[in-house]
Amino acid sequence: MGLRTALIGLEEAASRECTVTFRIVSGKERELFVENCRRIISCDNDFITLGICKAVLRIGGVPLVLENFGVGGVKISGSICSLEIIEADLSEN
């Protein structure tokens, strides 16, 4: 399943619970804003994994910088190479 298909499939639920905004700043530098992030599952220089609404969002790139931009919101910047959305039930965690 491609990124576009996954985002369209989660669009209705995500619009009520979560917002993901991707912005190219200049050249290879990119910024990703995630509102209503439920939790940070893992974080290192190459991959950041976030729990969002009813999915897990895995961001790949080198180097990645994770910043907090408010209650339940994160900003990821750097040379983002990949975004992967995995459907998951995070209600028990």
The reported pLDDT for the residue numbered 13 is 55
Report d(CA 32, CA 40) in Å as an integer.
14
What is 3-87's CATH topology?
Answer: Immunoglobulin-like (2.60.40)
Kindly report, residue by residue over 7-31, the tens digit of the pLDDT: 666 655 555 566 777 666 666 678 8
The pTM assigned to this predicted structure is: 0.71
Residues 37-93 have pLDDT tens digits of 888 999 999 999 999 878 899 999 989 999 987 777 899 988 888 888 888 866 554
pLDDT for the residue 92? 52
Q: Domain coordinates of the chain in residue numbers?
A: 3-87
- Whole-number pLDDT of residue 68: 84
Q: Give pLDDT, residue 47.
A: 96
The token pair at 45 is 């220089």
